[in-house]
Amino acid sequence: MRKVKLHNPFKARIIDEKLLREHLALERTKLANERTLLSYIRASIYLLISGLALLQIKDYQGISLMWVGYLSLFLCILFIIVGFSRYVALERKLNGLLREQPEEKNKS
């Protein structure tokens, strides 16, 4: 098992290579979680814009698109709620994993 020295301008420390891999994997997961949240927000904005546009159309060959516009607005809100709830749930789980690591190191 190799020791890896991390560059930290405030505190120099030596960390185990296995712990470094785990830490980097958790950081990648956090970044993926943020990308997923941004994708939910982007889809929600698209639904919001399309819903507002459909509500502006009064009649299209006798078919009222008002209900489709309201459905799009409802889905917009639903996407935001699902996106944020998934982000918060995974963030809590990841923070729990990060808190457990130093305790396990002290036990051994």
In-domain check, residue 14: no
In-domain check, residue 56: yes
Query: Which secondary structure element, helix H or strand E, spans residue 3, and what is its range?
Result: strand 3-6
Res. 104: pLDDT tops 70: no
pLDDT computed for residue 99 by the predictor: 73
Looking at the structure of the chain, the number of domains it has is 1
Q: Which of 8-17, 32-41, 69-78, 93-102 has the lowest mean pLDDT?
A: 8-17
Looking at the DSSP bridge assignments, the partners of residue 63 are: 60
In-domain check, residue 64: yes
pLDDT computed for residue 16 by the predictor: 75
- 10-66: per-residue pLDDT in tens? 665 566 777 788 888 888 999 999 999 999 999 999 999 999 998 888 777 666 788
Gap between the Cα atoms of 61 and 59, Å rounded: 6
CB 66 within 8 A of CB 52: no
In-domain check, residue 29: no
Gap between the Cα atoms of 42 and 78, Å rounded: 13
In-domain check, residue 95: yes
In-domain check, residue 107: no
In-domain check, residue 94: yes
In-domain check, residue 19: no
Res. 103: pLDDT tops 50: no
CB 70 within 8 A of CB 98: no
Enclosing domain of residue 94: 40-99
